[in-house]
Amino acid sequence: MPQVTEPEEYLFQAYGIFLLENKHPVIKELNHSFSPSVHGHKTWNSSFLIMDYFLHKHLLSPNKTVMELGCGWGPASIFCAENVDCKVTGVDLDNEVFPYLEAQADINKVKVSTLQKSFEKLTQKDLASQELIFGADICFWEQFTDIHFKLIKRAFKAGVKDIVFADPGRQPFYDLVELCEKHFNTEFLEWYSTEPKKFEGYILHVRN
């Protein structure tokens, strides 16, 4: 894998971590060998909502086991590992996103474990070792409302304490919020991040 050893052009910083822009030579080199699908081709802004929310709500602690659903390039996973030294697992259906995650983890000198699996196939056993599960920009298709609702139920049965989703405000996400409010201890918040620039969206926090 291409290595990045220090800050340089096409590298930006947000919430204490370094991230690669699409024009960075490492990303360009990875693009020759990998072709991520399912929207795993960049860093999505809702990841920064997650970072800001975690920072203000103090949900993270050293060695806490956390899992990111639909991790993509893994900025929120890297944030958890870098800022609080959590034990992080990034889950994605597309294993071609993992080299990008690993490149970004490398420049931040952190380790993020990876797991290739669809949301539907994550079992209670997969989820049982996690204290916190989160996802950013992962409720963009109508079918995801039911998929994520069932995943939340499995996670709670497995003993997961907190589940946090961030979204810019799509209808499937609103539908998920409505379902969660009927069945779980649910908090739905307008939120904004300030780095690398201001971005407004929403947080769904479901507690077991």
Domain-by-domain residue ranges, the chain?
11-207
Provide the pLDDT for residue 3.
52
Task: Report the pLDDT averaged over residues 25-54.
Answer: 85
Provide the pLDDT for residue 181.
98
Minimum mean pLDDT range among 24-28, 115-119, 144-148, 203-207:
24-28
Q: How confident is the model at residue 41 (pLDDT cuts 50, 70, 90)?
A: low
DSSP β-bridge partners for residue 17: 14
The pLDDT tens digits of the residues spanning 45-78 come to 999 999 999 999 999 999 999 999 999 999 999 9
Task: Report the pLDDT averaged over residues 21-26.
Answer: 91
What percent of the chain lies above the pLDDT cut of 70? Answer: 94
Provide the pLDDT for residue 72.
93
Count of other CB atoms within 10 angstroms of residue 27:
20
pLDDT at 92 over 80: yes
Residue 5's contacts (CB-CB under 8 Å, 6 or more residues apart) are: 107
Identify which of 6, 74, 13 has the alpha carbon closest to the alpha carbon of residue 40: 74
Superfamily designation of domain 11-207: Vaccinia Virus protein VP39 (3.40.50.150)
The pLDDT tens digits of the residues spanning 107-141 come to 999 999 999 999 999 999 999 999 999 999 999 89
Residue 135's contacts (CB-CB under 8 Å, 6 or more residues apart) are: 68, 69, 70, 148, 164, 165, 166
| Residue 41 token pair | 């081709």
User: CA-CA distance, 107 to 90, in Å (whole number)?
Assistant: 17
> For residue 190, with 0-12 CB atoms within 10 Å meaning exposed, 13-18 middle and 19 or more buried, which class applies?
exposed
Q: How confident is the model at residue 36 (pLDDT cuts 50, 70, 90)?
A: confident
What percent of the chain lies above the pLDDT cut of 90? Answer: 86
> For residue 138, with 0-12 CB atoms within 10 Å meaning exposed, 13-18 middle and 19 or more buried, which class applies?
buried
